[in-house]
Amino acid sequence: MAVAVSPVAETCRAAKRAARVLARTDTAVKDEALEAIAQALESRIAEILEANELDMAAGREAQIGEALLDRLRLDAGRVLAIARAVRQIAALPDPVGEVIDGHRLANGLDVRKVRVPLGVVAVVYEARPNVTIDAAALCLKSGNAIVLRGSSSAEHSNRSLAQIAAEAAVGAGLPEGSVSLVAGGGREELAELATQRESVDLIIPRGGESLKEALQAVATVPVIYAASGNCHVYVDRSADLQMAERIVLNAKTQRPGVCNAAETLLVHEQLAEEFVPRIVAALTGAGVRVRADAGSLGLASAAGGALVEPASAADWDTEYLAPVIALGLVDSAEQAIEHIAAHGSGHSEAIVTRDTAAARAFQLGVDAACVYVNASTRFTDGGEFGMGAEIGNSTQKLHARGPIGLRELCTFKYLVEGDGHVRP
C-alpha cells in the first residue's frame, strides 16, 4: 500500500472512518500492529537511510546548520532506537477503557468516567523524522487515527517512514487510513488541515514559534501547542558547584538543538566570582558561545575569551537551539523566578540548590510544565518519563501539559447504567 498525497479533506475523512474502527479495536490487535511496524522498520533500514540521505544532502546544500542537521539525521542506530520505542509503547497499558472514576448515585444509577480516544489527531512537525513513527505509534496505541504533516526539509524521510508504518499497520489488521501523510502543499495545505473541523479532533504542532503563529492565525480545530523551549537553569547560592557544573553542561551541550536544552543560565550574584569563570570555561571549552549580562561580562570574558560577548535584550527571549547560552546574575531565588516568569516559555526550568526553602519556593513559584530541583532540563521527555515516547511537550495548561503521551491523546466519556430510571 502506498501513502498517496491526496487532497487534505479526503485524507482527513478517511482518517475519521478509520478512527471509528480503531476506537473499538482490541488491545492485542493494536499491539500486533505496533510490533509489525517495529519489524518493518528494522527490515527496511537501508530504504529509510537512502531517503534520509536525500534530505541530509538538501539540508547541507541549504546550510541549515549542524543542530538542525542533527535533528534530521538518521542512521542505523537511530532507526533501531525508533523501533525499540515502538515496542516500548506496545508494552504500555492501554489507556482506552480505563476507569478514571466510578460511583453509585443515591438514586441507584451507576456512573463511570472512562477514558476514550480523541478520534483523529493531526500532528504538524518540523525536521524530526523520528516524530513520524513516535506519533503514529502513540496514536494507534491510544485508539486514534493520525494525519501526519512534516516539513519539506524531511520530506523523503517522512514519506518513507509513514509508508512503512501505514503498510505494516494495515497488514496487521488495522483499517486503511489509520496512518496518513499529507505533504507538499505549503502554508495553504497547513491552513486547510487546521480547518477540518468535521474530521480532525485535535492538531498538535511540534515546532518553533513561527509554526505556532501560523496555526494560531487560521486554526478552527482544537490545538495543543508543543512549542518552543526557552529553558533556564538557576544556580542558587547554596548549590554544590560540582553538581551545578555537571547539570549546566548536560542541559546545554548534551543535545543543543532540542526544546528541553537550557538557553539561559542564571547565577546567584554571591557565587559570581567563584562559579562564573568555572562554568564559562567549561561551556566555551565545549564550544558554547556565552552572551553575558553586564554583571557577569568581565568574569565571563576573562574565562571564555572570544566566545563571550555582551547579552542584548533579545537574548533573554531567544530559543537558540544551538551552542549558545545567555548568562545573567540574580540576587535571589525570587529574582530568578521573576526572570523566568518574564522570559520563559513554560517548558522546563531547573534550580540547583541545597536549600530546601529555595527549592520549594522555586517549585511553587515557577509556572512551567516541568520544574526540576538538582537535575537537568534534558529529562523532559516522554521516554525518560516512562511514557514510551511522546508527540511533543505541551507548554499550555489545557488539555495536556508536559510530555504528550498515551493518556494525553485520550478524552473521556461518562457511562451511566440504570434499571428503568427516570428523572422525577
The mean pLDDT value for 241-251 works out to 98
pLDDT band at 387 (very low <50, low <70, confident <90, very high): confident
Distance (Å, whole) CA 175 – CA 146: 12
- Beta bridge pairs of residue 204: 123
- For residue range 175-234, what is the model confidence (pLDDT) as tens digits? 999 999 998 667 889 999 999 999 999 999 987 778 888 888 999 999 998 768 999 999
The domain 231-379 is placed in CATH, from the list 1.20.1250.20, 2.60.40.10, 3.40.309.10, 3.40.630.30, at 3.40.309.10
The mean pLDDT value for 353-365 works out to 98
pLDDT, position 218? 94
Distance (Å, whole) CA 330 – CA 383: 34
- For residue range 157-170, what is the model confidence (pLDDT) as tens digits? 999 999 999 999 99
Asked if the model's pLDDT at residue 308 lies above 90, the reply is yes
How high is the mean pLDDT of the chain?
95
pLDDT, position 2? 47
> Which cell goes with 196?
477540518
Phi, psi of 75 (to 5 degrees): -140, 180
Distance (Å, whole) CA 134 – CA 243: 33
pLDDT, position 185? 66
How far is the CA of 372 from the CAs of 232, 257, 260, 359, in angstroms? 10, 20, 12, 9
- For residue range 24-41, what is the model confidence (pLDDT) as tens digits? 999 999 999 999 999 999
> Which cell goes with 170?
494495515
pLDDT, position 6? 52
Total number of residues shown for the chain? 424
pLDDT band at 4 (very low <50, low <70, confident <90, very high): very low
pLDDT band at 1 (very low <50, low <70, confident <90, very high): very low
Helix axes 186-193, 8-22, angle to 10 degrees: 40
Alpha helices in 173-260 (DSSP H): 186-193, 209-218, 241-253
pLDDT, position 234? 98
Distance (Å, whole) CA 157 – CA 53: 8
CB 89 within 8 A of CB 34: yes
The answer as to CATH 3.40.605.10 being correct for domain 8-226+391-417 is: yes
Residue spans per domain, the chain: 8-226+391-417, 231-379
- Beta bridge pairs of residue 199: none
The mean pLDDT value for 381-409 works out to 90
Asked if the model's pLDDT at residue 281 lies above 90, the reply is yes
